[in-house]
Every structure is written in C-alpha cells, then in structure tokens.
Amino acid sequence: MSATMQTSHPIRPRLTATQVSRRGFLAGSGAVVAASTLGTKLAFASPETPTDGDVIVLVFLRGGMDGLSMVAPYRMPTYRTIRPTIRVKEPTEVANPANAGLPLDAGGSVDPFALSGTFGFNPGMAALHSTAWADGNLAVVHCVGMPATESATRSHFDSMRNWEVGSAAGNQTTGFLNRFLLDVDANRIAGIARGSALTRSLAGPVPAYSMGSISGFGLTGFSNNTKAADAITRWYDSGTGNAVMQLGADTMTAVGTVRSVNWADPRFAVQNGATYPNTDFGWQLREVAQLIRANIGLRAVCVDLGGWDTHSDMGAPENPNGYFRSRCVELSEGLAAFYRDLGSQMNEVTVATISEFGRTIDENGTGGTDHGRGSTMLLMGGGIKGGVHGPFVPSITNGPEDDLTVLTDYRTVMAEVLTTRGGATDTSMLFPTWMPTAPLGVCS
Amino acid sequence: MINATLAPPDTQDVADPERDARSASPLSRRAMLATTTAALATAACAPAGGGKPVPSTTAPPAPTTPPTVPPTTAAPTTTIPAGPVTPTPPGGEGVTTRIAIDKLTFGPAPGLAAAIEARGVWSWIDDQLNPVARNVPDAEWRLAGYATLTNTHRQNFDVQDSDDGWYRLIEELDHATVQRAVYSHRQLYELMCDFWSNHFNTWRQKTWMLFLKNRSNETVIRANALGKFSTMLLASARDSAMLDYLDNLPSDASSPGGVNENYARELMELHSLGIVNGVQTHTEADVRGVAKVISGWSINWDDNATRYDFRFLPWQHSLDAVTVLGGAFSRPARTYGQGYDDGVRLIDVLAHHPATARHIAWKLCKRFVSDTPSEALIASTAAVFTANDTAIAPTLRHIFSSPEFAAGHKRKVRRPFEVLVGALRATGAAIPLGWNTQTTDKVRDMLDNLGQPLYERHSPDGYPDVNAFWLSSEGFLQRWAMLGRLARNKLTDPTQPNPIVVNLPSLLPSPQPPTVAALIRWLAENLGNYTMSDADVADLCSACAFTATAAGTTVSGDANKLALAVGLVLSHPSFQQR
C-alpha cells in the first residue's frame, strides 16, 4: 500500500548515542519503530514483576481552576478583603461548620509545614480531606505555572498546549508523558488516555491509546468481526510512515492485549469497600484502577475533568449547591474512591492534578474570576508527602496583572514526581526548556 | 495472525448497556427533559429590563445581513444546471475530480463524479463557490416544519418552554445539519458552515438559554459562510448565543468587579487576530480595553417581540477612554448612552487587521490543504483575503488554485462528522425526514461515541482541525464499528419506524463486475473514491474467505458478504483521509 499521507507523528526527541543504546527498542530509525516491538512483548498471562516506577495518573482540570477557591488562604486578611462573596469562610462565619473551609493543619501523619493553618480546603473537598489528606498522602502546591520568562499566556489553548508538551518552545511537539514513557522504556499498553481522543500529554512516538471503556475496546459492528479485524490488521501496516495506518496497527495490537485479559476476574473488581460516585469522572477512575490491576504495562494515564472556566456565578463555598463547590465535590469524591479502592496499591500509583492557569484574584462583576496565572496542583499517592509545599505569596494583593504570581515552575513538581516516583532518569528529555531546580520534597 | 479474542466476546453486535447509558447521559432525551424544569426555573429569574431606565439610544438598528445563500424550498432535483464554463486557473491543473470530491465535499455520492466530469472540475468549483447565482440545488426542502431554524429567539424561547421543547430545539438543528451535509448539492457551502460553526463555536448547553443556538446558526453562520468575514464577525459579536456563552451578556462596567474579559479575549484570540504558531498580536491590556469597548453588548430583556435579540445596554457600558492594538483603535472617554458605534468600529478594525488575515488564511489552509501549509501559501492567501475586503469565496478560490492544494490530497484525516456524513453519502443512505425519530437520536449518540457530537464542543475553539487529535484508538474503533453497522443497516434499528436505509445491491452497476476482485475494486472506486491496490484486494478476500477469481455475484448476491465487503471498503485507510 502506498503511503500518501505525510506522517503526523511528532518528531522524536533527539537522543544521544548512549540514550539510544540504553533503550533497546529504539535501535532502528523512524518514528514508528517504537511501535513494532510492542508486539513482541504481548505474550503474558501472569502478573509481571513489580515495575520500577509508579503509574502516573494525570488529571487535567480543564478551563483554568481557581486554586484560591479550592485551597483557600482563608485566614489571610487580604484574601478576605479581596474576595467578598466567593471566598471560603472560617467556621465562625457560617451556621454549619461543614460549610466552612476544612483546615489543612499539620496533624495526624501530616508533617508540620510552614504554611500550617493558613489554608483550608473548599468544603466540597471533604471526601479527600478525610482520607488521603488525613493519611498524609495528599500534597498541595500553590502558585504553580510556567515562568513568565518562558510564557505568560492566558490563553486556554496556548497554555494547555504548553503544559502538556512541557515547554513553550514551538519545536517541542510531543507530550511530556510520552517522553516519560520513552525514558522509562515503557512497552505494551503503557499510556492510556480516557475518552475518545488521545490527550496531548501522551501524544508522541511511543504508542499510547485512547480508551472509552474497557468492555468496548474491541472491533465491533461487522457481521463477522474476526474477519473484519483480520482485514483491518492486514491493511493498517506498521512502519509505512503513514500516520493513519500506524494508528490502526497500534490499535489492533492493543485490542489484542486488552481482550486477552479476563476482566471478570474478581481481582479486578472494586475493593476495600470503595464507592465511586455516579459521575463520568468516577466511572473513568474505576476503570483506571482496573487497568492498573491488570498488569498490562500501564505507566501513565490521562483523565480530563472540565468545567473550571468560571467567569461567572462561581457561587459561595458555604452554599452546598454553589457551582465551584460542586466541581470540587465531583473531583474529590472521585479521587477519594480511587484512593480507597486501590488501598495499599496506592504505594505504586501517583495522581497529579494540573490546570492550565489559575484565575484573577479579584472577583469580577459577574460573581466569577477571569484568566490568571498561578495555578494549584494536588498530588496523591502512597509515595507522596502530605502537606502544603512550596512558597506562597505573603499577601493576596491585586497587582497590575490581577493574578496570583507563579512562584513554582510546575515542571519542578512534575520532574520530582516522574523521577522519584515514576522512575524516569532524564529530566532534560522530559522538560528540555526547564531550568532544573531543587525538588520541593513532595515525594517521600 | 488474528487472535480470535480481538472482538469483545459479548459485544459482537449487542449494545453495551453500561457504555450506552453513559454516552447517552449528557444528551439523551430523558436527561434533556430532566434539566428542563431547572432551566425554566432559572429563566424565570432572568432580569427583566435590567431594572434601570432605558435611554432613547438603547437600541441601534441592527445591521442588515441578508442571507448570502437563501434557502430554496423547491422540490429536490439532482440536475445541476449548466452555467458559465471556467478555464482552469494557472496552478489549478492538478485538481482532479477525485481530489475535488475528497477535499471540497463531504465525500463521494452516487452520480457525483460523473456530474463533475460532465461540468468540468473548475466550472463545478465555481458553481460551489457561487451556489446561489448558479442555482445549485440545496436540501432545504427536507426541512419543512423545522420551525426552530427560522423562528425568532422569542419564539424559540416559547418552544423551549413547551413540552419536549429542549429536545425539539436540539433535534431539529442537529438533524437539519446532518441532512444538509448529506444531501445538499451545495457541498462546499455546507463544509464552510461546518468550518465557521467551529470557528465561532458556542456551546448551547452552557446556560439555560439553549434556544439561542438555532437562530444564531442561521443568521451568523449560514448567512455568511461564503460571504464576507467582516460581516460575519459583526454578526457574531451581536449574536445572543455568543454573548451568553462567553459572558459578555452580563458584563457590567458599573459593577464592583468591572467588566468580564471572556468574550473580549476570544474575540481577538480565536475569532480574529489569532495566535498563529505562538505569535500573538494582542496584549493583556488589549483584552481589558476591548472588554470595555464591548461592555453593554447584551440582549434585550424587555417583554416584546425582540426579547433575547441583541441590545446595547448603556448602563453596563464602560465610558473609559480606550486605546488598543498599538493605537489601531482608540476612542475618547464617552458619556452615558454613547459607545455602541465604537464597538462596531472596533470589530471592523479587527476584521481588517493584518493579523486577522493571516489567522484566517492559516486556518483555511489547514482545513483544505494540510496541517502544515507553507508560509508562502498562508501569506498569499492572506493577501487575497485583504484585497477582497475579507470576502471568503475568492480567498478559497486562491487556495484551491494553488498547486499545494492538489498536493495536499489525502493529507488530512476525515473527522468523525466527515466520516459519518461521507459514509451516508457513499452508500446512498436514505435518512428519514422528521426530526423526531430514532434516527436523530442514534446519529447524535453515534457522533458522541465517535468523539465529535454536533454543537457540543464545550470550549470556544471548536473541534480541532489537526490530524493528531483524531488519530486515536478509541476514535478508530468507533468509526470502524459505525461503518460496519451502516453497511448492514444496523446504524439504526431496522425493526423500528424511521431507520436509516441503505440498499447496497441498488448501487451496483449492470452488468456487475465479473469477479469478486473486480467487485471489490469497483466498490472502492465508486463508493470510496479511491483505488484499492491488488495486494489490498487480496488481503480483503483472504481475510473474508472470498475467492477473488470467483464470479462477483458470489459476494454481491449474499447480503452478509456484500455488507462485510462494503463496511471494510469504507474502513480502509484511504477512506479515512481526504
């Protein structure tokens, strides 16, 4: 078959000779070689030997999540002044304390930290506050983003692109999680994006897969699906340089792997009494836990949760039906169920939430906030050191750009997670334009 | 060899109840109805008259935007009228009938290739660029009774307020879009409606005012899709659906927090100036300045016939002096009641800004050529756009007549909507007329599963137009399944009223191709608009246990085998690219 379509596989990151030799599966040329060895490791039935790094679950909060409403500096006078209605209240200010901020004090197994007592979770975060936070397995980093020296964009689309490829450089086109898979020599079904499209963070030369559901991941629709699969597999050749054919070939290989798992095995059922919320996000996380347990080689997963572009009507956090609070409920109940379901297996899983930017400090005239800069990350896992990490501004002031300053490069956090927990070794490949700085110590 | 477990054991053709329940949830009739009560409760709280006195200057006359492509209601015809004959423009020699079909229509349809051949490719292209003047038949006759497409906003509010009103608004618009794309002979126009609908994307379910979308689709998008960009940009800026979606409707300079920046930002970033390959013209200060100039661009809440139409609300308008874009637009401080004309002038400055020309040229080239159009083509296209006062048709013609256009054949992946519509066209599918049938529901769920539900993109950028986004495992499994089902008449439930009907034997020529191999080749050529290699024909025959040299009727005479062959011909890599 002639390849008429120019490949759209992003250009493979430049590798040194030693890097190439370290990664045996790259011994060849062309962006498609990585895929061909996928097929050589398909024969497996029993759980593999423990991996040498965590599964990284990246939850992208699309729209620009207002960190000041999720993890609020609720006792800071300047915060109280500048956000008259949408701020998170203290217990003395509301009739029902459950509707006040949930204090992020040191205590339990959470180490003391510099900002103890300064912050409170939005009351919608109760499910996480009573579980992962109480266990000391939930970390918060405020004021994260890309340094203004590299990009200060407040465009959703440019900013998401920058976060996901890990750089503002135009010639960087592969997702940082795809480079992570490259670094850790991932194989088989290493990267899965939940949904109908492949998340940009995972896009690149190492095959990664989008998956709507486990049960639906197969070829259906024909009068004889086995014959149809045979024809499609023959047509969609690997290694032609045609991106459509490569995608088809990778897909059919992955289908073979996923369908060879007995998903009815009780080992893959929800465990530890966890109850996932009846939301799409909860359902996605339930299947991610199953995929992790199935030992199909998973190293990175992307899950999206949208609805954070809150230009108007964010609602008061003390109102249980407030919009932003309800977003927090969906996030925290999903993550808390995932945390409980995996139980001790959370020692091999790290969840990170990111969002393309934070929002303006000021409330706007319509009860919302506009695009800002400094964002907020959550990190959860058995290998995460609970607490609020990294610097915060000394006062919430409404500067000329009306935003929360970026004080921590988000890549500093992700680099620590991907190396200390994920087992990656080459941060210059993960984040080529990042200026390496000392880790914050979010990983234990 | 193929592992017999490639297909999920229990999902050969049985719906996955869990997945169906999920996929249907955001869009299903039940869900829509469930939200109706809440939505109407909200509606009751909508401000009436803004609570302030209405100065005499409040309602400037709307600029008239006569539809560039008025609908016809005449009976259907398949004859494309003869018109002036166009010589092939220099550089356009490479545009063949096959390329014209793949790149300028939603896909091959019975008789189309012959019609283009008879008319001449470039005469046909000029017909497509001027469909009204050339009397190219549309498909509007199919939409009799779809009142929400032509209703005023006020009338559509009443529809939404009635039983099943939300459902009707969504179904009429979606089913009209599908039928127009499948059946209209104004194929390029319909492609451009899809393009601009994404460029000026509004998500109808963001607020309770879902009903705004139906009229705005006609007055903003369809009225201007081959007209002038400057007219469309102003129409979009005055579009109630856009003002609601991007929060300009409540933006109030006199409120303690001041104006809302959301629409101002996207007006520049997505609709006009753009950010092309990371190069951005406007600044954060420009976003604030523009937000001030267009503050007060809102809707009429007065209880009269123009309720929910555009209205300038001076009590929400900023009176500050504003200078933006390095002085390309400025205005002095204003007094109460002034300011609307400033916004109109600002929109015009944006529409004619060089960055806008480059942005629109880049997007059109990405649409019609490849994901990586040459700098030279972008620049020359931008120059044509500017020289023609932002007229869209001559800009397109410039792209089509560049050698890069023909060279871009098969370099774009068909997006899910294009695959579905293309397959319906290729198989000559008969789609029921009414909006309230199983077909409308199933088609919408199908597009949802494929990852491109109509008019449900939540973010204002519209669905991505780059290959990488659509090259996904789930997306391809879903599209193959859709194509397999369509060929078997299982896209909808054939035992229920109003299914989609495909009659494959009726598509075959007489006499039939002599051998199975010839039959497969004929199907690829005529249904798929591509040539299947001998090796790929052999692969299909081998996989399906067909004897390539046997009589063609051994496959065409067996409904199951013919459906399998057609489903696979459409699942071939060539049909996924245009």
The verdict on a CB contact (< 8 Å) between A221 and B481 is yes
Q: Is the pLDDT of residue B21 over 60?
A: no
Domain boundaries, chain B: 17-51, 416-451+472-503, 506-576
DSSP conformation class of A420:
I
Check residue A106 and give its pLDDT: 64
Q: With beta carbons under 8 A apart, name residues in chain A contacting B11.
A: 215-216, 218, 220
CATH no., domain A55-215+263-430 = 3.40.720
Nearest to B426 by CA among B231, B262, B239, B574: B574
The verdict on a CB contact (< 8 Å) between B22 and A213 is yes
For chain A, positions 172-211, list CB contacts with chain B under 8 A: 193, 195-198, 200, 203, 209-211
| Residues 6 or more apart in contact with residue B348 via CB below 8 angstroms | B230, B234
B311-350 pLDDT, tens per residue? Answer: 999 999 999 999 999 999 999 999 999 999 999 999 999 9
Cα–Cα dist A203/B336, whole Å? 52
Cα–Cα dist A429/A424, whole Å? 10
Nearest Cα residue in chain B from A254: B473
The pairing of strands A387-389 and B275-276 is unpaired
B397-434 pLDDT, tens per residue? Answer: 999 999 999 999 999 999 999 999 999 999 999 999 99
Q: Is the pLDDT of residue B283 over 80?
A: yes
Cβ atoms A157, B276 nearer than 8 A: no
Helix (H) or strand (E) holding A145: strand A138-145
Q: Is the pLDDT of residue B72 over 70?
A: no
Domain boundaries, chain A: 55-215+263-430
Check residue B482 and give its pLDDT: 97
Q: Is the pLDDT of residue B3 over 80?
A: no
Dihedral sign for Cα atoms in the order B172, B173, B174, B180: positive
The verdict on a CB contact (< 8 Å) between A311 and B260 is yes
For chain A, positions 79-108, list CB contacts with chain B under 8 A: none
Q: pTM for the whole thing? A: 0.82
Chain B: nearest CA to A244, how far in angstroms? 7
B304-313 pLDDT, tens per residue? Answer: 999 999 999 9
Chain B: nearest CA to A294, how far in angstroms? 16
SS3 assignment, position B525? helix
Least confident of A246-260, A401-415, B19-33, B477-491: B19-33
- Give B89's pLDDT tier (boundaries 50, 70, 90): very high
The verdict on a CB contact (< 8 Å) between A210 and B475 is yes
Interface residue of B472, B486, B546 to substitute, partner A, most A CBs within 10 Å: B472
Check residue A173 and give its pLDDT: 83
Q: Is the pLDDT of residue B264 over 60?
A: yes
A80 or B560, greater pLDDT = B560
Q: Is the pLDDT of residue B125 over 90?
A: yes
Widest CA span in chain A: 72
Interface residue of B5, B28, B248, B477 to substitute, partner A, most A CBs within 10 Å: B477
Check residue A398 and give its pLDDT: 63
Tokens standing for B379?
A: 């620049």
Per-residue pLDDT of chain A (444 residues), as tens digits, is 333 333 333 322 222 222 322 222 222 222 222 222 222 222 222 234 445 799 999 999 999 999 999 999 988 888 888 888 899 999 899 999 899 999 987 654 455 455 556 789 999 999 999 999 999 999 999 999 999 999 888 888 889 999 999 999 878 889 999 999 999 988 888 899 888 888 999 988 898 999 999 999 999 999 999 999 999 999 999 989 999 999 999 999 999 999 999 999 999 999 999 999 999 999 999 999 999 999 899 999 999 999 999 999 999 999 999 999 999 999 999 999 999 999 999 999 999 999 999 999 988 888 999 999 999 999 999 999 998 888 888 777 765 567 888 999 999 999 999 999 999 999 999 999 999 999 999 998
Q: With beta carbons under 8 A apart, name residues in chain A contacting B19.
A: 212-213, 215-216
ipTM of the complex: 0.87
Check residue B167 and give its pLDDT: 94
Chain A: nearest CA to B3, how far in angstroms? 7
The verdict on a CB contact (< 8 Å) between A221 and B11 is no
Cβ atoms A347, A383 nearer than 8 A: yes
Tokens standing for B534?
A: 């001998």
Check residue B10 and give its pLDDT: 35
Check residue B147 and give its pLDDT: 96
* Whole-number Cα distances in Å, B319 to A363, B172, B295: 21, 42, 9
The verdict on a CB contact (< 8 Å) between A212 and B478 is yes
Nearest Cα residue in chain B from A247: B471
Tokens standing for A418?
A: 């991907």
Percent of chain B scored above 70 by pLDDT?
Answer: 86
Tokens standing for B235?
A: 């129409």
A330 at interface of B, judged by CB pairs closer than 8 A: no
Of A62, A216, A256, the CB nearest to B19: A216
Q: Is the pLDDT of residue B475 over 70?
A: yes
Cα–Cα dist B508/B525, whole Å? 12
Chain B: nearest CA to A183, how far in angstroms? 22
Interface residue of B99, B209, B419, B474 to substitute, partner A, most A CBs within 10 Å: B474
B359-382 pLDDT, tens per residue? Answer: 999 999 999 999 999 999 999 999
